[in-house]
Copies of this chain bind each other. A is one copy, B any other.
Amino acid sequence: MTKGELKYEGKAKKVYATDNPETYIVEYKDDATAFNAQKRGTIANKGIVNNAVTSRLFTYLASFDVPTHFIEQLSEREQLVKAVKIIPIEVIVRNKTAGSFAKRYGVEEGIVLTPTVLEWCYKSDALGDPPLNDVTAIALGLASPDELETMMDLAMDINDGLITFFANRGLELIDFKIEFGKLPSGEIILADEISPDTCRLWDTASGERMDKDRFRRDLGNVEGAYQEVFKRVMGDANA
């Protein structure tokens, strides 16, 4: 499998065509951005960590019937995925208050949310990924009611799976962001990545932040936290 044309370059990944129109190669970079790319930097070996962690998590999620774009890991920084059209809606699942949510609503971080909060954002760097409700997503033609329901159901299943997976590795899943893609058949499958870039993970014992907040908030030891998540996720704890 060889890389063809560069189809897309995002903040943390490049996506290449392959000689098969049904597959892409994703290459994970070390570049890091935050606050809608107002803050930029690199995290050494982040691409290696996020490729491995995403490959592991997507394989795990597929094992209980979450459809994903992941086919196989090709190298330290590359994976082969199904070619999908990304739905321009970021799906955020929040188990506890943190980050932009806590700031937006003027609440402390770490409060348990009951019920679990699911948010949509319109995926647009130019607009700063604004929040979106169901009816707005439909009225703007971003997704159909059925597609929103499918994404919501999958997001909740993914949350259940990930909470357990991380809890078995001493990590609490505070919130995460996922993206979905559409196959030519219309089927909606999990795409993009799940990694310390896209999840908030707090060490269960110490409460220490083991995710991109270390970069966003200049907490130090960013690489160390990514390596620690890598070690725990790739270790052989039972899912």
Contact = CB atoms under 8 A, between A and B. Distances in A.
Interface in A48-75: none
A110 to B, nearest CB: 14
Given A104-B130, A126-B106, A115 B135 contact: yes
Nearest to A118: B135
Contact of A117 (B114, B117, B136): B136
A170 to B, nearest CB: 26
A205 interface: no
Interface in A95-145: 101, 104-107, 113-120, 122, 124, 126-127, 130-136, 138-140
Contact of A127 (B106, B114, B139, B140): B106
A140 B104 contact: no
Nearest to A107: B140
A134 B133 CA distance: 8
Contacts of A104: 127, 130
A105 B135 contact: no
Contacts of A133: 117-120, 131, 133-134
Contacts of A122: 105
A135 to B, nearest CB: 5
Nearest to A124: B106
Nearest to A138: B115
25 contacts: A101-B136, A104-B130, A105-B122, A105-B127, A105-B130, A105-B132, A105-B136, A106-B124, A106-B126, A106-B127, A115-B135, A115-B138, A116-B135, A116-B139, A117-B133, A117-B135, A117-B136, A117-B139, A118-B133, A118-B135, A119-B133, A119-B136, A120-B133, A131-B131, A133-B133
3 nearest CB pairs, A to B? A113-B139, A104-B130, A133-B133
